[in-house]
A and B are shown apart, each in its own frame.
Chain A
Amino acid sequence: MELFTGLSFSVLCIQILVGLSKATILFIVASGLTLILGVLRIPNLAHGSLYMIGAFTTYSIATAFSQSSLGFWIALLLAPLIVALIGLIMEQGLFRFLYNRDHLMMLLFTFSFTLVFGDLVKLLWGSDYRSLAVPEIFQGSYSLLGMPFPRYNLFLLLLGPVFAAGLWFLTNRTILGKISRAAAVDREMVGAVGINVNRIYAAVFVLGCYLAGVGGALVAPTQNISQGMDHSIIIEIFLIVIIGGLGNVWGALLGAVIFGLTDAIGILVAPQFGIIFPYLAVITVLIFRPKGLLKSIW
């Protein structure tokens, strides 16, 4: 079946699926950012750096196991934990003392971490880029509607809803999630009912960093792991968080889906200008809904 401009239905379907699988990683990382922004009100510029550290760490761990499938799973388990630990150190060491400062200060502090982490990565891994093989069980593609759909992309596609469900459960059904939602709006009152809000903040920050680490681990087999990946992702996820609604995890999902889909469809429809479609979508959203598509948490 042929749609307009000779585009066949099956190609469009595959492209949509590819776009959605890309969106998974964007969503996971963006959700971490939006949680930190929503609850702690910190615009964490270092989020991209944590994602990058997650990717490099995954590379090292997986390589220690000769880039086998087992190595990848172990890395997927450990790398985000390491990133979460780094987040804990950041929070306990510095941010904990700064919660009452205004946003601009927080932006600057997190920016300084971007620089520190960038140099740290260079120190530990050198400035060469790394390449991680796709784990064996995910190598190759399935033939879907006559087009190749890489197995790893299918893995990502299935993982997306799992994380979405998990985060929903966390924010809506667990005590931590409920307290966090209350603390995002009225931190003082949460303290007045006997809850140590600083502990909550620490927990949410660490969780957000963990998610960045997961994103980095998942992206590692798909691209060059290099310096500069922190800069490119941070712009994308900030835009996703803005168009989705600040602090709103569903908004992050929606934003990530929009981003991934417009990117994939754009490449199909106008491949010479494929790069700009997601940004056009962002501008369009902001013109009509300047506060974001979904409600901001504040």
Chain B
Amino acid sequence: MKSTFKFFCLAAFVSCCLLAASSAFAAKTIKVGIVDTYSGPASTYTNDVRDAFALAVNKINAAGGIFGQQVEFVTRDSKFKVDLGLSAAKELVMREEVDILMGTINSALALALSDFAKQEKIPFLATFAKSAKITGEKGHRYVFSMNENTAMIGKAAAAGLAKLPYTTYWIAGDDYEYGHAVADGVWENLKKLKPEVRLLGQSWWKVGEPDFTPYITAMLAEEPDAVIIATGGRDCVPFLKAAQTTGFNKLVPFYMHTATEISTLKPLGLTAPEGVIGTANYHSYYPDTEENKAFVAEFEKAYDRTPAVGALYGYITAQFISKAYAKAGEVNTEKFIDALEGLSVDSPVGTVTMRAEDHQVMLPMFMGMTTKVEGKQFLVASEIITIPAEESMPSLDEIRKARQL
């Protein structure tokens, strides 16, 4: 009797220990919390980020995880609202105890999350938000950007446009922060690279402008050599539609960021205007490397659609997280950040590096022209020139000045 009782006690004690040990073992995952807009039109872009991230994370986990720990991630829908996103982030940090925060396409929210991350001393990896303030004026130790910003777009576009023979320009675009930031970025840099360019004038319309015809007519009247169109996500497609209808693209060459991206060209199908100059950070067909082809094939197999630029951001974010932790050796924020600074990873667009000084990833930009291609239901970019990351990054001086303000 007594011995059986003793046995049971021992068994109970051992199982308790094992249970405790295993739960502690199971609790050892690396948790990423993603706050982004998954409802509404923005979701077309953010779904790519999340899906590519998931794909990459699955691969990492299948290969054993990061020093034996699995990576898991949870998402929260901020519905493009700053207050919702912020409370979601708080919940992720307090309740879910995430190690890293990630997100979002909404620049205002990204800046708010960046602030929050600074307070909580937790790393925040910005994906898709294009405000230059994230790693510029409002940059700090705990925030990293995984994509290009308006300053970089401006510099890259200027680098490309400076090579073209146009001197008189007109600027037009969405009358809000992003539009003006892109336009200013392009113009300031273009003037530096090619001092003889002249700005004939500007037109600004409200975001979501329904009819571009009067603006197009007015621009044609001014007869510029080329036009810079600074539209945000919403208006790119309708503007290109209007350009096609009025024949604007045949009368005046114009440049628009993302005009050559698949997200912009696919909805327009074969009625998209040809000859539009665009910049993009990712094409599924360029560069035509093994890496890119493999990436596209995997993504298409998993999700039955072609990856757009968001997929690139999601993918490299996963790579950076995995490599930085591996280098740090443990789940420690400060060590993670130190490891991430200056780190390079492989990607479908080649090797990309995280600049140590401002925590901005250095991505190449591809400038091309929209063209119809046999056998494809939508236009693609042709005559692509690559603007290497170094040419489009803001100088360290500029960063230092911005952060001092």
Contact = CB atoms under 8 A, between A and B. Distances in A.
Nearest to A132: B241
A153 B202 contact: no
Contact of A274 (B205, B216, B238, B271): B205
A152 B205 contact: no
Given A22-B211, A274-B204, A15 B217 contact: yes
Contact of A229 (B172, B175, B210): B210
Nearest to B246: A148
B245 A274 contact: no
A145 B231 CA distance: 29
Interface in B183-211: 201-206, 208-211
B251 A219 contact: no
B222 to A, nearest CB: 9
A65 interface: no
A8 B247 contact: no
A226 B39 contact: no
Given A141-B246, A271-B172, A223 B215 contact: no
Contacts of A129: 41, 234
A283 interface: no
A166 interface: no
Contacts of A268: 214, 217-218, 221
A133 B202 CA distance: 28
B238 A11 contact: no
Given A11-B221, A147-B217, A148-B220, A272 B211 contact: no
Interface in A259-285: 263-264, 267-268, 271-275
A2 B44 CA distance: 47
Contacts of B351: none
A222 B203 contact: no
A131 B238 contact: yes
Given A19-B214, A264-B214, A271 B247 contact: no
B184 to A, nearest CB: 14
A110 B379 CA distance: 44
A275 B267 CA distance: 28
Nearest to B219: A271
A215 to B, nearest CB: 12
B105 to A, nearest CB: 14
B237 interface: yes
B229 to A, nearest CB: 13
Nearest to A223: B210
A263 B205 CA distance: 11
A112 interface: no
Interface residues of A, number: 41
Interface in A92-133: 127-129, 131, 133
B332 interface: no
B241 A275 contact: no
Contact of B201 (A140, A219, A264, A271): A271
A123 to B, nearest CB: 12
Given A224-B237, A272-B203, A274-B205, A150 B213 contact: yes
Given A11-B221, A15-B218, A275 B175 contact: yes
Secondary structure type dominating chain B contacts: helix
A141 B220 contact: no
Nearest to B268: A131
A134 interface: yes
Interface string B241-255: 100011110010000
Contacts of B172: 271
B375 interface: no
B40 interface: yes
B245 A152 contact: yes
A131 B246 CA distance: 17
A226 B207 CA distance: 12
Nearest to A130: B267
A267 B245 contact: no
Given A15-B218, A147-B220, A150-B213, A133 B203 contact: no
A256 B268 CA distance: 31
A174 interface: no
A127 B208 contact: no
Contacts of A229: 208, 210
Contacts of A227: 40
A196 interface: no
A148 B237 contact: no
Given A8-B221, A129-B234, A271-B203, A226 B214 contact: no
Contacts of A131: 237-238, 241, 267-268
The residue in A131, A222, A267 that gathers the most chain B C-beta atoms within 10 A of its C-beta is A267
A129 B40 CA distance: 8
B247 A275 contact: no
Contact of A224 (B175, B205, B234, B247): B234
Interface string A14-47: 1100110110000000000000000000000000
13 contacts: A11-B221, A129-B41, A141-B247, A148-B247, A150-B213, A224-B208, A232-B208, A267-B205, A267-B215, A271-B204, A272-B201, A272-B204, A274-B204
Given A19-B214, A271-B201, 4 more contacts: A15-B217, A139-B245, A141-B245, A150-B245
